[in-house]
Amino acid sequence: MADRIYYPNAELAKTAYCNSMDQYKKMHEKSIKQPEEFWSEIAKQFYWETTSSNDKFFSYNFNRNEGDIFIKWMEGASTNISFNLLDKNVKCGNGDKIAFYWEGNDVEDYSRLTYRKLLEETCKFANVLKSKGVQKGDRVAIYMPMILELPIAMLACTRIGAVHSVIFAGYSSDSLAERVLDSKAKVLLTADGAWRGSKLLHLKSICDHAMDKVKSHGHNVESCIVISHLRRVTCPPGNTSDGGKTKNGTSNGSTSEVNLSWDDDRDCWWHEEMEDADSSCYPVWVAAEDPLFILYTSGSTGKPKGVLHTTAGYLIYAATTFKYVFDYKPNDVYWCTADIGWITGHTYVVYGPLVNGATSVLFEGTPFYPQNDRYWSVIEKYKVSQFYTAPTAIRSLMKFGDDLVKKYNLDSLKVLGSVGEPINSEAWLWFYNLIGHGKCSIVDTFWQTETGGHVVTPLPGATPMKPGSASFPFFGVLPELLDEDGKIIEGEGEGYLVFRQPWPGMMRSLYGNHERFQTTYFDKFNGFYCTGDGARRDSDGYLWVTGRIDDMLNVSGHLMSTAEVESVLAEHAAVSEAAVVSKPHPVKGQCLYCFITPNEGKNFDKQLQDELKKKIRERIGPFAQPDIIHHAPGLPKTRSGKIMRRILRKIAVGDRNVGDTSTLADEGIVDLLFQLRPEA
């Protein structure tokens, strides 16, 4: 079954924006050979305060021998993103259309927001930001749950040309502080707290710790604007609600009862600031290459990288990928389950859908609360037509059996999307047959924080699907596979996945560190953007992304660096050395497998293991918790002291076939580590 080719549903193909491989190939060829013409035609659909001349529409350098790397689209043009997403939609008759159905953590909490109201709230909050001294180019950090104020805050930043930096609200206070400090954010936006399933997240208190830490490093967050969220949502049964609603909907008191620490000079409530704010705000026109947002992603050195995206190119790329990859039509309801704290949420919860005038679901909760059928019930409730999620979610839901799915009417679905990691054929087939009833196209979208939008993906009305293959490049994208020496692999083969030329939505730099941008992505292969992923091309030309080939791990779709985890583990007083590798995991894709060498005289016991797990949770976030901690009295090192991770990966999976060990300083260590395997 997995080897079969699955053809797009003929009904869907009839009306699809791209409905055949011939059309795809023609469009793709034009986008590569005449990028100026291809993208300038698309750009005409949007509002530009000033336009770009043809000779300046696109320029770049991917070759370090010829100077600094740069990528520029639409030089000379100016626009405002919120104007294109909101004012333009309201003017085109979409004012009363629902932009977001908000579905809270609890089934009893839901609301909706029209495009007109979204514009009004965005303008009001833009005025609040202005009143806090935020100006064009200033950074605003956002640490929020999945609530309507989150896209409002992002769009309010774009309204006045401020640069948002959203930090996933599952990060610890240390991780938050590191990111706030790096971007020197002037303002921090958060909520008092949020329920995730039946767990309460104390967001404001995490922000307090982070702001203290930031201050101790010499930077001051001038204002912290807090949404009073807990009072308006239902408290999960068995919990005390700290001023929230009880299960029967009655109020349990006011937010003032929530035990928050408060700095009167710095902290204020969102709703109080919004009360008198003016509901109109003239947009600040920004240049095409002015920064739009920073989004941090893990870097292999352990220090997060502030990926910088700019205005015009990101806008046209988010718009075009959303339109073609999800084949969104005006009456569809689209749902992307990703958190806005990740790039998927930026491009495919906020920018892509809104610029297309789409109606989306914004979901605060988890797939498992109150029951393991929450996703299916939400699809039925809103008659979702495009459903975009991650392989790890699919795999974890498969476990609960098919009956839970069959209770619901999922007939509204047309396109299913997958993102974040390779999807195994078993999960693909379950998604296709059980969720999509064998009639929906699956778009397995390969991309990265850095790429801004999909770069290798099927198109639902055109591409015959092979389970597990992201298939072909999107418009404007020219992939190559290279061998270790940088030689291009033609036809069938496997190698480093790189891109030869920029597409509009690609990152422009790493915030405050252009040198790191150049060395990370362009030094390995001169003239190419290096993704850090490996891929295989089959005899039909399909691309199969095989996963990271650097020291990065992908746990449930969260990218992490081994160095980042190792440095936290090595900080523990009882730890002499730590080495982290990934191990395949049936649900998470990969999990963290940590080798720990204790200091002389220190015990490797359960207490130490628990302390190390806790430390990772506190320093990075709960999603980074290691699955296995392995006692390693020594590590396999070369004579020059380099840890041979290749061998550690073999030990992690119990594969005795470790290959050549002759370069090891102490060959005996390998046997010892096999003996000490925790599962042995």
Which residues sit at the interface with ligand PRX, rule CB under 6 A? 297, 343-344, 419-422, 444-449, 470, 531-533, 545, 547-548, 554, 559
Query: Phi, psi at residue 453, to the nearest 5°?
Result: -155, 180
Other Cβ atoms closer than 10 A to 274: 18
Closest CB to ligand PRX among residues 173, 556: 556
- Shortest Å distance, C-beta 665 to ligand PRX: 32
- Shortest Å distance, C-beta 165 to ligand PRX: 15
Closest CB to ligand PRX among residues 31, 344: 344
Closest CB to ligand PRX among residues 158, 445: 445
Closest CB to ligand PRX among residues 79, 337: 337
- Shortest Å distance, C-beta 449 to ligand PRX: 3
Distance, in Å, from the CA atom of 241 to the CA atom of 165, rounded to the nearest integer, reads 30
| Alpha helices, H only, 304-442 | 312-326, 343-345, 352-355, 374-382, 391-398, 403-406, 425-430
Task: Quote the tokens at residue 678.
Answer: 């925790």
State the residue for tokens 């591409």.
463
Closest CB to ligand PRX among residues 469, 609: 469
Gyration radius from the chain CA atoms: 25
- Shortest Å distance, C-beta 389 to ligand PRX: 12
Task: Quote the tokens at residue 335.
Answer: 């749902």
Distance, in Å, from the CA atom of 577 to the CA atom of 228, rounded to the nearest integer, reads 44
DSSP one-letter string for 16-81: -SS-SHHHHHHHHHHHHH-HHHHHHHHHTTS--SB---GGGSEEEE--GGGSS-EEEESTT-EE-H
Closest CB to ligand PRX among residues 40, 441: 441
Query: Phi, psi at residue 549, to the nearest 5°?
Result: -120, 15
**Cα 157 vs. chain centroid, distance in angstroms?**
19
Judge whether 624 and 560 are in contact, CB under 8 Å: yes
Distance, in Å, from the CA atom of 500 to the CA atom of 261, rounded to the nearest integer, reads 52
Closest CB to ligand PRX among residues 291, 299: 299
Closest CB to ligand PRX among residues 114, 347: 347
Judge whether 145 and 195 are in contact, CB under 8 Å: no
Closest CB to ligand PRX among residues 559, 632: 559
- Shortest Å distance, C-beta 185 to ligand PRX: 21
Pairing of strands 552-555, 558-561: antiparallel
- Shortest Å distance, C-beta 24 to ligand PRX: 18
- Shortest Å distance, C-beta 459 to ligand PRX: 14
- Shortest Å distance, C-beta 133 to ligand PRX: 32
- Shortest Å distance, C-beta 447 to ligand PRX: 4
Task: Quote the tokens at residue 504.
Answer: 């509009």
